[in-house]
Amino acid sequence: MMRELKTTIIVLLFTSLLLLVGVVNVTGEAYESMKGIHSVKAVFDMRAGSPKSAALLLNLIHQTHRDKQLTEITDKPAFKVVFIGPSVKLISTNRDGFSPEDHKFLDEIAGTVSQMSKDGIRLEICLFAAKVFGVAPASVLPEIKQVPNGWVSLIAYQAKGFTLVPVY
């Protein structure tokens, strides 16, 4: 009886070890695409106009910046976010036209933008789009650099080797 118990325990431990090794291998090799990469530079073309969607997407960009798979190859991935189109309305202190429910997402966006900036993610707003959507430059969140044309920024960042990531 004692011998059977020891055998059962050894089999269970060995099986658990194999399962654990399998899990480690799956998570450690989750991104085959990362093999051979030594730096990461991405520019996010942010156009999402819904406060709820934009809050989720900005959070995802921020979490991606902190992703262990990226930070293992470079301490600080180079990330830029360029707000174009309807997204410019979401990074203004003017909340006219937004529902009370939207306000909580706008607060979340403002908090995420602040934290992203502190973490080294550079953010820009297209002033052409701001004018089209009625966003006063003075109302733009302070962490966001104002540029005349967001497309020029996107073109320039790509010319400098940044990968374009559409965020619609």
Mean pLDDT of 69-82: 87
Mean pLDDT of 136-149: 98
Pairing mode of beta strands 78-83, 122-126: parallel
**Structure confidence at residue 73 as a pLDDT band (50, 70, 90):** confident
Give the span between the Cα atoms of 165 and 85, in whole angstroms: 15
Residue carrying structure tokens 């979340």: 108
Residue 70 contacts residue 77 (beta carbons within 8 Å): yes
Residue 103 contacts residue 147 (beta carbons within 8 Å): no
Mean pLDDT of 86-95: 97
Residue 115 contacts residue 62 (beta carbons within 8 Å): yes
The structure's pTM equals: 0.81
Residue 7: DSSP 8-state: H
Residue carrying structure tokens 């899990």: 23
Number of H helices, E strands in the chain: 6, 5
6-37: per-residue pLDDT in tens?
544 444 444 444 444 444 334 445 788 888 88
